[in-house]
Amino acid sequence: MTDYLATGQLPDEYQQLAKAVRDFAQNVVAPVAAEHDANHTFPYEVVSGMADMGLFGLPFPEEFGGMGGDYFALCLALEELGKVDQSVAMTLEAGVSLGAMPVYRFGNDAQKQAWLPQLTSGKALAAFGLTEPDGGSDAGATKTTARLDDGNWVINGSKQFITNSGTNISKLVTVTAVTGTLAGGHKEISSILVPAGTPGYTVEPAYNKVGWNASDTHPLSFDDVRVPEENLLGERGRGYANFLRILDEGRIAIAAVSTGAAQGCVDESVKYAKEREAFGRPIGRNQAIAFKIARMEARAHAARTAYYDAAAALLAGKPFKKQASIAKIVASEAAMDNARDATQIFGGYGFMNEYAVARHYRDSKILEIGEGTTEVQLMLIARELGL
């Protein structure tokens, strides 16, 4: 990563990874993307292929079944997948940065040994239960509760918009819950591991979404769910703070997916502008089209630079909160703007769901909302500036 900052060239291992995932995305993901999107089906065969490639284990040590890579390697993979299918990219992003990463960052040895080999193999998925029906951007307004009773946590409440929570391979959800009251009357929020199939834990019917139709998303409910006291993840009362750290990292990953989406719109538009003829010549020879695509390329480049910068700070152990928020804003807005422009370039065809640009048009809006809205990112950046 530091080599790139000095030379503009990624080290060979990163280039090889990106190429391998690019080939997989074009040859395996792209051919089935429209079908899964239209049918709202989870792409198990694609996820199995990603698991075989080791993508779910990219940033984790080999001792837990991982590939021994880093978070930037994950982001490179997400960018390549995001070019052709955001649903697939988000399945990987949520499975790693939101599902497995909390266990890796904050779990004890027993929890890591019990869960990480399954999650890094991609044979099982974990979910991240933070958002609630009345919470949204105010994650501190958690109403789900967990109380100790005879050596067990008893959990009651609900979660909303939870990715990877209802598939046949979903095995775990980590939930934030109020476990007490701190001095001054503030909520003590902790995080607790809840295995799939625990009595009282219900995965509600999937949402009917505008986009990300091949990504699995459900509301969850907890009715006197009992799990052992040792399922506490990390220190009691640190659940909220720990999840904020996970979200900071996840914003870099979302920026990588967004960059892929932005670049995917450029690639599709360039190809179409060379092939589509109007008034006797390819439309790409018209300055209005050429300049629109040039601006799209500039947005994608800026987005990539922003997430590379945030990832470099993360890997160097430096503060990266501001960089992550900047990357998410720049990249998610690039994805949305490029999707709108690409749809315009394609004209009527851009409004047909079988075309990738139409899926990007529907999919990209949530990139400006999920894992912290644009407004939340602006608030965080302003705070980092001392405002």
Q: Which domains does the chain have, with CATH numbers?
A: 2-124 (1.10.540.10), 127-238 (2.40.110.10), 241-384 (1.20.140.10)
* Residues across the chain: 387
Count of CB atoms situated within 10 Å of the CB of 132: 22
Mean pLDDT by 10 residues, the chain (387 residues): 64 95 98 96 98 97 95 98 98 97 97 97 96 76 94 97 97 96 88 98 96 97 98 94 92 98 98 94 96 98 98 96 98 98 96 93 96 94 96
Phi, psi at residue 223, to the nearest 5°? Answer: -125, 95
- Please state, in angstroms and rounded to a whole number, the distance separating the CA atoms of residues 190 and 233: 8
pTM: 0.95
Q: Any bridge partners for residue 155, and if so which? A: 146, 225
Report CA-CA distances (Å) from 292 to 226, 283, 284.
56, 12, 10
Residue in 325, 332, 335, 304 with CA at minimum distance from that of residue 248: 325
Catalytic residue among 13, 368, 371, 375: 371
Report CA-CA distances (Å) from 176 to 44, 100, 180, 191.
28, 15, 12, 4
Phi, psi at residue 159, to the nearest 5°? Answer: -130, 160
- Please state, in angstroms and rounded to a whole number, the distance separating the CA atoms of residues 381 and 376: 9
pLDDT at 8 (0 to 100): 67
Handedness of CA 329, 335, 336, 341 (dihedral sign): positive
Bridge-based pairing state of the strands 217-228 and 152-163: antiparallel
Do 24 and 53 form a contact (C-beta atoms < 8 A)? yes
- Please state, in angstroms and rounded to a whole number, the distance separating the CA atoms of residues 239 and 215: 26
Coarse DSSP helix, strand, coil percentages of the chain, rounded to the nearest 5 percent = 60, 15, 25
Q: Residue type for 357, please?
A: V
Is-catalytic flag, 371? Answer: yes
pLDDT at 161 (0 to 100): 95
pLDDT at 230 (0 to 100): 97
The SS3 of residue 205 is coil
Phi, psi at residue 218, to the nearest 5°? Answer: -140, 155
Residue in 246, 244, 94 with CA at minimum distance from that of residue 163: 94
Residue 273 DSSP code = H
Count of CB atoms situated within 10 Å of the CB of 328: 32
The whole-angstrom distance between residue 110's C-alpha and the CA centroid of its chain comes to 27
Report CA-CA distances (Å) from 175 to 50, 198, 227, 322.
26, 13, 12, 26
